[in-house]
Every structure is written in structure tokens, then in C-alpha cells.
Amino acid sequence: MDSFYRCIRTHVPTAAVNKVSLAVFCGRRKDDSLNYNVFGNEVKQEVEKLLGTEVRVELRQITKNNGIILDGICILEKGCNVSPTIYLEEFYREYKNGMSLREIASRICEVYEKRCRGIPFSLEYFLDFEKMKERIFCKLINWELNKELLNEVPNIPCLDLAVVFVCAVENEEFGNGSILVREEHRKLWRVSKELLYEYARENTFRLRPFELKSMEELIEDMVEPEEKKLLKEIPMYVLSNQKRVFGAAGLLYDRVLSDAGVRLEDDFYVLPSSVHEVILVPDHVAGSEKELRIMVHEVNHTQVEPEEILSESVYHYDRKKHSLSIC
């Protein structure tokens, strides 16, 4: 079985979905140096000089999944209360490598002009639940790693995970993004978290169809002939959605898991590859649960971005009981 585990460690998808984002996306931990904070303030001032008084420039700290803190600049046009955040850490690395503050500010303004200005999205639109309810989707995140965040957002427990809700912002010209639904949004909408879950489950299943593809099919052009042979002998499957965004939510639907069991012709283990997808391994080739847990831990800490880690657990689906459980 050593070759099986080596193959998964090497080729497990890491949800590096090459999608157009509304942000320049990088994160940092809370213990970064004061120089970084000074950098942020100075860049903000340079951006203000370049854009003038027609916009409002704000520095923001955003708590993302798994406790990751993102620092960024938000540029708000007059009459608009919502704008994508342009995150700063990548620019800070450029600054440390010799790029001037003025050049960094110019690049931020370019990002703003290309991706942010004129996005047809306003606070008034967002606060209208009748308009937003078709945009709400499910996202699965880790419960333990997000205890603080879960105090601020409506959520539904699921095993050692939690279902949270995101509003999709999709635009062909400007790209795709999402807004995490918080408790203040739910209260303004005057809806229960149960109603949010009802809409989100329906939208997720209907508008973001799930699909199951073999690992062999997904990475055929990335592996050597010997590994191709191994993948045929030891079948593994990747469950996600067609957009490859928050596809691990497929675990919420017994219909999806039941159909997977029919295709695999066996009960199966679920390995949490990331918030965007999971790997299914039929019982008859999976090996020991202990080895699977070790492998998930190694992949999480070497192949997956910290913000995209879903869980350290291994799950098992029983076809007869229609039951997903933690091993």
C-alpha cells in the first residue's frame, strides 16, 4: 500500500482553482512586525494621493477561514458601500524586494480600475433578501479551527464541520467572488439560519452541480506511466462541483454520496482534500484508517493552503445505512 499513499500525497488536488478573483489574495498571521502595519498606512496614503477625493480608501483586517487574518485596502466610490478588498501581503513582499511605495500604490490603483471600479453591487442590493436569496450557497468549514468566526456567522453543525453561508458575486467582466453571510446580515434580512440553510442547500445543489471524476482522469497528463498504472489498480475519485469552488459541500447531500457509492460499487472513505473538494477511496483498496489519517495530516500541512484546510479527520460512508461518519 506504500505506493498508494505516495500517489495520493503527490497528486492530491489542492484546490488551486485558477479562477479570476476580485482581490489580490494573500494572508498573514497576527504576529507580523510593526513595519508591516506602517507599510499599510503609507500605501493607503499613496493610494489616496493618486485617486483623489472621489473615492474613500480604507485599511481593513478580514478574518478568513481557519483563523487566517488578511490585511487589505478597500476603495469605495461615492454612493457605494461595498467594494472588493485588495490584499496587501504580496505587495509587502514586493516592497521588501525593492519596489517603491508609489509604484505599489500605482499597481493597486490598476487592480482597482480593472477589477473593482463599476462592479454592479451595492449595499442596498445586498440588504434585499428577495434579491439575494438565489445567490446564497453552502460552504463547509472546520468547526474547531473556526470557533471564533462561528460566533459571528449563522451556521449549522455537521460532524466536526460547520455549514456556513456565502453570497456569490459573479460577473463575466470582473470575475467571481463571495461574501460570507454574518449574523448582522441575517438579522437585517429577518430570516432564521434554518431558512438560510434551506435556500442555500437548494441553490448549491441546483446551481452548482456536483460531479465525481476519477483521479486518473484529472491528473492524466501530470503523472508517469508507472503511476498511471497504479491509479488504474487503486481507484480514487474526486468529488467537487463544476466550478471547483467550495465543492466539499457535496458531503451534505446523501443523494450525491449514494450515487458515488453506486459508481464505486463499495462503501468508501472520504479524505478531506480541501474546502473545495474531497477524495473518495473504496473500502477494498483503502488500507488502514490510521494510515489514512496520517496521510490527510501530511497533505494538509504540505500541499494545502492554510485557509483551505477542511479537516484532519477521515470519514466513512456506509451505503446500506446511508450514513456518513467520522472514523
pLDDT tens-place string over residues 106-119: 999 988 887 665 55
Query: Residue 23 — pLDDT band, cuts 50, 70, 90?
Result: very low
- Averaged pLDDT for residues 299-318: 94
Percentage above 90 pLDDT, the chain:
52
pLDDT of 52: 87
Range among 9-18, 67-76, 283-292 with highest mean pLDDT value: 283-292
Cα(248)–Cα(280) distance, integer angstroms: 11
Asked if 5 and 287 touch (Cβ cutoff 8 Å), the reply is yes
What count of residues does the chain have? Answer: 327
Residue 73's beta-bridge partner residues? 59, 86
Stretch (H or E) spanning 89: helix 89-96
Alpha-carbon separation of residue 253 from 36, 54, 73, 206 (angstroms):
44, 47, 38, 12
Query: Residue 221 — pLDDT band, cuts 50, 70, 90?
Result: low
Asked if 192 and 185 touch (Cβ cutoff 8 Å), the reply is no
In this predicted structure, the answer to whether residue 240 has a pLDDT above a threshold of 80 is yes
In this predicted structure, the answer to whether residue 130 has a pLDDT above a threshold of 70 is yes
For residue 302, which of 12, 2, 7, 20 has the smallest C-alpha distance? Answer: 12
Half-sphere exposure of 102 (CA within 13 A, CB side): 1
In this predicted structure, the answer to whether residue 24 has a pLDDT above a threshold of 60 is no
Cα(28)–Cα(62) distance, integer angstroms: 10
| Average pLDDT of the chain, as a whole number | 83
pLDDT of 114: 74
Helix axes 34-51, 89-96, angle to 10 degrees: 100
Helix axes 89-96, 101-111, angle to 10 degrees: 150
pLDDT of 28: 39
Copy the grid coordinates of residue 31.
504576529
pLDDT of 187: 93
Extract long-range pairs of 43-46: CB within 8 Å, 24+ residues apart. Answer: 43/73, 43/88, 43/91, 43/101, 43/104, 43/105, 43/108, 44/73, 46/101, 46/102, 46/104, 46/105
| Residues 170-220 pLDDT 10s | 655 445 678 899 999 999 999 999 999 999 999 999 999 999 998 877 776
pTM of the entire predicted model: 0.77
pLDDT of 212: 96
pLDDT of 168: 86
Secondary structure (3-state) at 321: coil
| Residues 30-70 pLDDT 10s | 433 348 878 999 999 999 999 888 888 989 888 888 988 88
Greater confidence (136 vs 27) lies with: 136
In this predicted structure, the answer to whether residue 124 has a pLDDT above a threshold of 70 is no
Answer positive or negative: Cα dihedral of 235, 240, 241, 242.
negative
Cα(28)–Cα(68) distance, integer angstroms: 7
